[in-house]
């Protein structure tokens, strides 16, 4: 995606454009809110969004342009990030493109709800990082970890809000939580993974298509997280 946008903006601005993005996501992961910074010498024309979007591929859209301080940095200035993970049970040609399919036969969401509060008190997530040695620190501070269901109970959504996330962390976490929900991983074993920072035998990533970066907050830009259209249904939090 980054190369596609950079190539187009380079043509639009008549110079080599290298964007500074707010982060990187795994292949197949989506974003409804993703920020990148671009320095320009002249004010952007009023039709800039329309002009750029007409030339972008259909799966990429430039939604807004904001003026920020001269020293703004999209990645390191972020104070909080929000990820949502959508999952469903039965095969569905529409949902399968933007939601992870799981076998919900023995899934008990109440089990998951019981362990989610652990994330708000735990700090070191080395055991749930795909490549921990690539990070200077594996400390993460969660502000929210919630599981929702739709009215029919055949679709679920996780929301995770924290100051930062590690490589592959959300997909690893969702897989572990689903194992808890199906009884394949006990609450005690999940707690032990967090406390001992030791990877379990269930070390596996959830499908990428269900994961969305839905929000990024900055000291100078504070916007609510935005769900994708496929996730805009009535969600009921599971206590």
The pLDDT tens digits of the residues spanning 43-55 come to 889 999 999 999 9
Are both 205 and 161 inside the same structural domain?
A: yes
Between CA 205 and CA 29 the distance in angstroms is 12
3-state secondary structure of 60: coil
Are both 26 and 105 inside the same structural domain?
A: no
**Residue the block writes with tokens 């390191």:** 76
pLDDT in tens, 36-92: 988 888 888 999 999 999 999 988 999 999 888 888 999 999 999 999 999 999 999
Are both 114 and 208 inside the same structural domain?
A: yes
Are both 96 and 33 inside the same structural domain?
A: no
Q: C-alpha angle with apex 168: 175 to 23, nearest 5 degrees?
A: 140
Residue 154 lies in domain: 80-237
Structure tokens at 195: 């406390």
Residue 73 placed within a domain: no
Residue 63 placed within a domain: no
pLDDT in tens, 193-232: 999 988 877 678 999 999 999 999 999 999 999 999 999 9
pLDDT band, very low/low/confident/very high, at 28 (cuts 50, 70, 90) = confident
Is 26 labeled as catalytic in the residue annotation?
Answer: yes
Catalytic member of 26, 92, 103, 154? 26
Are both 181 and 99 inside the same structural domain?
A: yes
Residue 125 placed within a domain: yes
Residue 95 placed within a domain: yes
Are both 140 and 221 inside the same structural domain?
A: yes
Are both 34 and 130 inside the same structural domain?
A: no
Are both 216 and 153 inside the same structural domain?
A: yes
Residue 111 placed within a domain: yes
- Residue 77: CB partners within 8 Å, gap ≥ 6? 218, 219, 220
| CATH of residue 47 | 3.30.70.580
Residue 72 placed within a domain: no
- pTM summary value: 0.93
Structure tokens at 135: 């990070």
Are both 37 and 101 inside the same structural domain?
A: no
Give me the number of domains the chain comprises.
2
| CATH of residue 185 | 3.30.70.660
Burial class (CB in 10 A: 0-12, 13-18, 19+), 54: exposed
pLDDT in tens, 147-159: 999 999 999 999 9
Q: How far is CA 124 from CA 50, 65, 172, 178, 222, in A?
A: 44, 36, 14, 21, 27
Are both 48 and 144 inside the same structural domain?
A: no
**Contact present, 33 and 225 (Cβ < 8 Å):** yes
Are both 40 and 120 inside the same structural domain?
A: no
**Contact present, 143 and 54 (Cβ < 8 Å):** no
Provide the percentage of residues in the chain whose pLDDT is more than 70.
100
């Amino acid at each position: 995606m980054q190369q596609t946008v950079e190539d187009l903006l380079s043509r639009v601005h008549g110079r080599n454009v290298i964007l500074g993005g707010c982060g990187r996501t795994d292949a197949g992961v989506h974003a409804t809110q993703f920020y990148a910074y671009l320095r320009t010498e002249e004010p952007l024309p009023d039709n800039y969004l329309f002009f750029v979007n007409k030339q972008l591929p259909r799966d990429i859209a430039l939604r807004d342009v904001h003026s920020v301080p001269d020293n703004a940095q999209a990645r390191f200035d972020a104070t909080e990030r929000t990820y949502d993970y959508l999952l469903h049970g039965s095969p569905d040609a529409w949902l399968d493109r933007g939601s992870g399919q799981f076998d919900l036969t023995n899934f008990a969401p109440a089990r998951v709800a019981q362990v989610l509060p652990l994330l708000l008190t735990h700090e070191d997530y080395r055991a749930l990082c795909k490549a921990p040695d690539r990070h200077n620190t594996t400390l993460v501070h969660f502000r929210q970890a919630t599981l929702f269901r739709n009215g029919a109970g055949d679709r679920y959504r996780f929301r995770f809000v924290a100051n930062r996330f590690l490589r592959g962390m959300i997909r690893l976490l969702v897989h572990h939580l689903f194992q808890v929900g199906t009884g394949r991983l006990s609450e005690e074993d999940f707690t032990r993974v967090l406390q001992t920072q030791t990877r379990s035998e269930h070390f596996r990533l959830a499908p990428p298509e269900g994961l969305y970066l839905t929000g990024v907050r900055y000291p100078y830009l504070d916007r609510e997280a935005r769900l994708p259209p496929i996730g805009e249904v009535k969600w009921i939090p599971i206590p």
